[in-house]
Structure 1
Amino acid sequence: MQYRIRAGRQTVTVDETLLDRAVRYVDPVRARARMAARLQLAAAGGYTGAARSSRRLGAWKPGGGSADADLLPDLAALRERSRDLVRNAPLASGAINTVATNVVGTGLMPKAQPRRAILGWTEERAAAWKRTVEQEFAAWAECTACDATRTQSFYGLQDLAFRSALENGDCFALTPMIERPGVRYATAVQLIEGDRCSNLDGKSDTPRLAGGVALDEHGAPVAYHFRREHPGELRLTTRTWDVVPAFGAESGRRNVLHLYGKRRIGQTRGAPYLAPVIEAFKNLDRYTEAEIFAAVANAMFAIKVKTPEKTGLSPLESAVTGQTPGSTATDARESNWDGTLTAGLVVDLGQDEEVDSFTPGRPNAQFDPFVMAVLMQMGAALELPVEVLTKRFQSSYSAARGALLEAWKFYRNRRAWLAEAFCQPVWETWLAEAVARGAVDAPGFFADPLLRYAYSYATWHGDGPGSIDPAKEATAVEKRLQIHLSTLDQEIAEYSGGDAESTLEQAGREKAMREKHGLESPAPTAAGQGARPAGDDADKADDGEEDAAPPRGYGLTLNLDNRMGGKSTRKVDFIEDADGHIVGARETVTHVVSEVTELEGAP
């Protein structure tokens, strides 16, 4: 039984429960008062989005579980479907590749930044210590000995760990000490897929154990349960687990790094990056496959033959059997044409037969607009503009730049997360061993946590975003440096992932080499030369810009092509002001000129 009440424009409906029925059977008066109270409570809500009586929303009853209750039961299916899309769906694979390429690229490089104020160091001492530490770390990170499997460098491990976290929702990294002959450091990194982390012996989740992660009373991980083999392994496996403490009992050393994006309070495991769009990607992949099949099927129909009733072979039967009209005795016909197509064909048709052209309906003209509209919504969920998701830049310079800037907000966020969750902990773990072995001098490193922080602090930089208009962006960098909005070190790190010290050292060496060989250094551009409009005017100029003007201030005469036995010539004279700056150009086109291409006014 249902009870209804009208509250303004809203009709509130309350269903009678089993308890309500029991109360009504025993005491109808109390049951009536009970239902009135329930109706008043239901009508008190002010959000139409929560209306339970709405015809459009009444059937929408999402669960209200905790972060783990909503995720963990579905995590295995989400992982498997995400991997399948990455393997077989081009757009899904492209999304993962695009994010990994821009976030990790060739690898995030550390820049040691010892806190001089805490350590009481001079700038020179800090710079010398920084060089020593970075050289020692490079010797470890660029060698495959840093990988427990000895197959990748630390920068390859970054890419693999990040991709695994995107595809599977999370990734684990162990930091075992593996002594090997000829290897300077024992610290190694061992990556583990999320499938292997599960409750010991398949136990059910509890408030202290969820998804293979054991928690303390504060919700902090204290241990991880890992199966010794992958549950999907083809070889014969044993159901055995290893319980790995999250931190060393006495040293506090990190034993396990858990890479996952935490989106809800109390979330123990991570969801795949593609989770919100798995269904959309799969349906779009099916739709694309169906359109391709339809286009192929349409391409197979060249013509159609009209025959008397029940005397021809249907197109579907031809497609299934591989036969053409006249290829079997039962399909014999009066004409001399067997249904095949050849060049210069003359067809002698039988009585009451005629050949008609076939008008294909594929490719579907609405396919591209529809797919792009769907991808715009999917890109919003993935934080990738549709231009970046599809690698399709067909609009203006301003639109392309806006799309890339929006994408790079996401890339920088994910890069900072990777540095915090993986790179920096590995750096600190390695540095502790380097100090313990005496390779790096760091007094008080193990005695004082503040000093340890001061020694361990580092920043991580990766590949730059590249340039759409290098000249304009270089001008912007110059202006930022002039008004002290940035530093040369920051600009170099953003552009190429390098640092000012090594860049200037290399520039000094190159300058000395040029002087040694009698070569002049590149002259700086004169102030005001090649000035461009600023702001929106610059964007408009770039939107309509085809080719940049030649940088030299003299006329050019170019032979372009043959026309009626002569040559077409275009002459461009550049106009200079009193200071020698190019302020305009004049073009002259002639069609009969000398056979010799001239370069007038060249220095």
Structure 2
Amino acid sequence: MAWFDWWRGGQARRERNPARVAFSRQVRAAFDGATKSRRSAGWRAVGTSADAEIGKAGVVLRNVARDMVRNVPIAARAQQMIANNVVGTGIVPAIRGRDGFVKRVDPLLIEHLDTPNIDANGRTDLYGIEAGIVAAVAVDGEVLVRRRWRRPEDRLPLPFQLQVLEIDHLDTSIDGPIGTGFAVQGIEFDLLGRRVAYHLFDEHPGAWSRYTLPQSRRIPASEVAHVYRQDRAGQMRGASWFAPVIMRMRDQADASDAHLMRFKIAACYAAFVKGGDEEQDPDDLEDVDGDDRLTALGPGIVEYLRQGEEVTFGTPPQVGDYGPYMRAIGQEIAAGLGLTYEGLYGNYADVNFSSGRMGWLEFQRNVAAWQNHMMIPSLCRPVQRWTMEAVAVRLGSSEGLDWSWTPPRREMISPVDEIPAIRDAIRSGLSSRSTEVRKLGYDPEAIDAENAADNERADSMKLAFDSDGRRSLKAGAAQQTGNENAQKPAR
């Protein structure tokens, strides 16, 4: 307390110093964004940390974003578009090492990772889990993946499974000093700032079947993968990706509903009858001929009016510039999510090849960043470590393997132009064939193995194709079969 009183006293002295106050105002006025004026009155310029902001607003943002995905088509489309492009058919692993050991491990990986054996719920394979994780991260901002060890009697290829948990399972009430370290909203750290444990509920706190207060338990950090996008230095938790665009999406949905209501009103406003007998009861529905008055319009109807009556038609309210407004706000939403407007809304009316390619390339940079800065280090690397530990248990060997993770293939916009460019880059030494193959979403070793098998089969059947790079065949040359004088492979 003595130190705090001394600091507060010094601050008071500084605030009473007129020269210091004047200098501070002068320096602040050098930046328009730092001045206090009518234009900056609405800014919330706070110095709170990322985790403090998420701790207060994260739950509300998450629940609002989930509601939007349930009820706003564009929000659902955005979630789907992010998951489909970041994961697609899967971020696929490939292993390299001693041939004998690879041949023993590879079948286990295929049987475990490429089947529902990896899923604690038994529903999907590793790549379906990846897609679900990205979809959850986009909406909730973060997701937890827990390793669950399994017993030999479970008869799994590898003795572990993955359990995906919504971030609601994190007990955020565990906060502050704990043991020999400290906790931040349910995440426990040691004195060096390393994650050592997560405090998790066994059941979702929002489960309808819960009749008792949930109890959390301490799970070592080595058993949990915490996947989120880190936007600020030192950020320990993630915020919903919809946070910057929630209000814009709501505005767009309201504008769309208002436009729909305009059409409904226009359909309801038909005709009005003015004039007639002022003393007549308006509830009297009989006309001069004793028939019911006309109360609805229909094709081919001829109606006779009383003396002095006239018909006027209502003018429904108009909403101008609806299309440009919806497009402008849609572009803001797409920009805030890191997506392309055309892809999010399926509107390619004003796109040419150049603009489409530029937007596609920028979007692919975002996708590559999400893959390489979030998914691979936060999810794929822990899965890699857990798999190798399970392999050591299964085979009784701790021999190491080199892993690589290949994201889904990137569709070419113009293969006629892009493939020659790739070929020239390889031939000029600016890139390797393996690198370019990985960019297309394939495993270079798998491609080489398939090419070798194809060549071996073609040679055994004495087939020759223009696609065979070992041969120098003229373009359009007929296939040579059964000819012993066929050109030999180049040496």
- TM-score bracket, shorter-length normalisation: 0.7 to 0.9
Q: Identify the match of residue 262 of structure 1 among 217, 227, 230.
A: 230
Q: Is the partner of 1:244 in helix, strand or coil?
A: strand
Letter in 2 for 1:380: A
| Partner residue in 1 for 2:95 | 112
1:59 to 1:490, Cα distance in 2 relative to 1, 3 A: closer
| Partner residue in 1 for 2:159 | 186
| Contact residue 481 and residue 488 of structure 1 kept, 8 A | yes
Q: Distance in 1 between matches of 2:248 and 2:463?
A: 60
Q: Distance in 2 between matches of 1:411 and 1:492?
A: 18
Q: Identify the match of residue 143 of structure 1 among 111, 115, 120.
A: 115
- CA offsets, 1:318-359, max 9 Å, x none? xxxxxxxx9x94344458651323332223233233345566
| Contact residue 265 and residue 316 of structure 2 kept, 8 A | no
Could you tell me the TM-score, scaled by structure 1's length?
Answer: 0.68
1:59 to 1:502, Cα distance in 2 relative to 1, 3 A: closer
- The runs of 5 or more residues in structure 2 that have no matched partner are 1-7, 477-491
Q: Is the partner of 2:93 in helix, strand or coil?
A: strand
Once the two structures are TM-superposed, the CA of residue 129 in structure 1 deviates from its matched residue by 4.5
Q: Identify the match of residue 409 of structure 2 among 449, 464, 472.
A: 464
- CA offsets, 1:220-269, max 9 Å, x none? 211111122222111124321111121xxxxxxx2111111222233221
| Contact residue 424 and residue 458 of structure 1 kept, 8 A | no
Q: Distance in 2 between matches of 1:508 and 1:77?
A: 56
- CA offsets, 1:453-498, max 9 Å, x none? xx34322113222122222222222222222323333333322x22
| Partner residue in 2 for 1:542 | none
1:510 to 1:330, Cα distance in 2 relative to 1, 3 A: farther
Q: Identify the match of residue 228 of structure 1 among 186, 199, 202.
A: 202
Q: Is the partner of 1:44 in helix, strand or coil?
A: helix
- Two-structure CA RMSD over aligned residues (Å): 3.5
Once the two structures are TM-superposed, the CA of residue 162 in structure 1 deviates from its matched residue by 1.7
| Partner residue in 2 for 1:559 | none
| Partner residue in 1 for 2:58 | 75
Letter in 1 for 2:202: R
1:307 counterpart = 2:307: no
| Partner residue in 2 for 1:580 | none
Q: Of the two, which has the highest radius of gyration?
A: 1
| Contact residue 65 and residue 140 of structure 2 kept, 8 A | yes
Q: Distance in 2 between matches of 1:415 and 1:484?
A: 26
Q: Identify the match of residue 389 of structure 2 among 403, 408, 432.
A: 432
| Contact residue 86 and residue 371 of structure 2 kept, 8 A | yes
1:173 counterpart = 2:142: no
1:173-572 equivalences under 5 Å are 173-179=145-151, 180-199=153-172, 202-205=173-176, 208-235=182-209, 236-246=211-221, 254-301=222-269, 303-308=270-275, 329-334=283-288, 338-356=294-312, 364=319, 366-394=321-349, 395-416=351-372, 417-438=374-395, 442-443=398-399, 455-495=400-440, 497-507=441-451, 509=453, 521=465
Letter in 2 for 1:418: M
| Contact residue 62 and residue 140 of structure 2 kept, 8 A | yes
| Partner residue in 2 for 1:26 | none
| Contact residue 311 and residue 331 of structure 1 kept, 8 A | no
Q: Is the partner of 1:176 in helix, strand or coil?
A: strand
1:203 to 1:512, Cα distance in 2 relative to 1, 3 A: closer
Once the two structures are TM-superposed, the CA of residue 72 in structure 1 deviates from its matched residue by 0.5
| Contact residue 145 and residue 165 of structure 2 kept, 8 A | yes
Percent of residue pairs bearing the same amino acid type = 24
Q: Distance in 2 between matches of 1:381 and 1:479?
A: 37
Q: Distance in 2 between matches of 1:480 and 1:158?
A: 32
Q: Distance in 2 between matches of 1:466 and 1:270?
A: 30
Letter in 2 for 1:83: R
Q: Distance in 2 between matches of 1:420 and 1:377?
A: 30
Q: Distance in 1 between matches of 2:443 and 2:455?
A: 18
